[in-house]
């Protein structure tokens, strides 16, 4: 499937509907003030290639769900299946992009980008070559020998995205990656992300609390409610890409989502 087609359709692409499954997933935390129910009986199926946004206010468990899917945390009940296999630890098929970019300040941009490959045992020359290739993909050729503190916030997050892509993941988990960026940089990176995603066969789970961001990016928006964290609605976004935030359809969906976020269950 070509990139142009994807952009035009902006709807579910073909693929195995059972790529990712969350089955009666629950998570509780023991805290000083008592037991907190972070997630209650989450049921979610995501096919390969879909761009899904988790939308909700802080504390609704959407980041926790992402961590569980990524194998960084274990559920209290239920399980996550990736291609039918239960995830109990981070899988080589998935990568994370973190909100505060998660770059190692003592490594150069290149070394940061190559870290996942190094962890997988790839040799030095090969992994640096691949890192440079992905840095070019995100528009950072020539910045490989800089240290992270020499980059702007947007550039740092580009490195974070490049690093996540180096292992050619089937599942990309993004935890409010653009949350700390200014509006213009954010808009640019959103378009970059769509461009990169449309060129590959990968599922993206993208956590955000911005309705606009979810509507610009997603094929499908899963709306969360807090206390306990649970799925309130599962909305398909059938608007063509690139999406115009000033279009009346966009505004209508934004209002619908806002209502979903606010109404009590």
Partner 1 sequence: MRASRALGLVPILVLLLAWQWAASAGLYAAVLLPPPLAVAQVFLDEPAQLAYHMMASLTRVAIGVGWAFVIAVPLGLLIGRYHWLDMLTDWSIQMFRSFPPISLIPLALLFFGIGDKPAVVLIFISAFWPLIINTIFGVRSVERTLLRVAKSSRAGEWLIFTDIMLPASLPAIFTGLRLAIGAGWLTVVTAEMIAVRSGLGYMILNAQMTFRSDLIIAGILVIGVVGLAADQGVRALRGYLCRWQEGLTASPE
Binding site for partner 1 (CB under 8 A): 70-72, 89-90, 92, 94-96, 98, 100, 102, 104-107, 115-116, 118-120, 147-150
- Hey, is 160 helix, strand or coil? helix
Q: What is the side-by-side strand order in the sheet with 203-208?
A: 94-97, 171-175, 203-208, 51-55, 220-225, 230-236
Q: Is the dihedral of CA 141, 142, 143, 145 positive or negative?
A: positive
The span from the CA of 5 to the CA of 17, in Å, is: 20
Closer residue to partner 1 in complex, CB, 107/187: 107
The span from the CA of 204 to the CA of 169, in Å, is: 10
CB of 147 vs partner 1, minimal distance in Å: 5
Closer residue to partner 1 in complex, CB, 10/70: 70
Q: How many CA atoms lie within 13 A of 242 on its CB side?
A: 10
CB of 172 vs partner 1, minimal distance in Å: 11
Decide if 258 contacts 230 (C-beta within 8 A).
Answer: no
Closer residue to partner 1 in complex, CB, 98/250: 98
CB of 30 vs partner 1, minimal distance in Å: 17
Give me the phi and psi of 93, to 5 degrees please: -80, -5
Closer residue to partner 1 in complex, CB, 75/102: 102
Q: Is the dihedral of CA 85, 170, 114, 150 positive or negative?
A: negative
Closer residue to partner 1 in complex, CB, 34/105: 105
Closer residue to partner 1 in complex, CB, 147/250: 147
The three-state DSSP-derived secondary structure of 175-194 is: ECCCCCCCHHHHHHHHHHHH
């Amino acid at each position: 499937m070509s990139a142009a087609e994807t952009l035009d359709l902006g709807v579910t692409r073909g693929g195995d509907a059972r790529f990712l499954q969350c089955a009666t997933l629950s998570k509780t935390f023991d805290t000083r003030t008592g037991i907190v129910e972070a997630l209650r009986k989450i049921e979610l199926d995501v096919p390969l290639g879909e761009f899904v946004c988790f939308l909700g206010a802080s504390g609704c468990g959407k980041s926790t769900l992402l961590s569980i899917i990524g194998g960084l945390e274990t559920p209290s009940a239920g399980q996550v299946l990736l291609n039918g296999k239960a995830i109990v630890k981070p899988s080589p098929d998935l990568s994370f992009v973190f909100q505060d970019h998660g770059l190692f300040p003592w490594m150069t941009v290149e070394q940061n980008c190559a870290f996942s490959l190094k962890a997988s045992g790839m040799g030095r020359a090969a992994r640096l070559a691949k890192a440079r290739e992905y840095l070019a993909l995100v528009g950072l050729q020539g910045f490989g020998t800089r240290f992270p503190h020499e980059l702007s916030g947007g550039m740092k997050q580009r490195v974070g995205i490049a690093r996540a892509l180096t292992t050619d993941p089937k599942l990309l988990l993004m935890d409010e990656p653009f949350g700390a960026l200014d509006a213009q940089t954010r808009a640019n990176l959103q378009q970059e992300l769509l461009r990169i995603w449309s060129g590959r066969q990968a599922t993206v789970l993208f956590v955000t609390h911005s309705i606009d961001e979810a509507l610009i990016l997603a094929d499908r928006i899963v709306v969360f409610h807090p206390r306990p964290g649970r799925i309130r609605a599962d909305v398909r976004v059938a608007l063509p890409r690139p999406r115009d935030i000033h279009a009346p359809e966009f505004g209508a969906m934004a209002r619908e989502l806002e209502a979903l976020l606010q109404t009590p269950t």
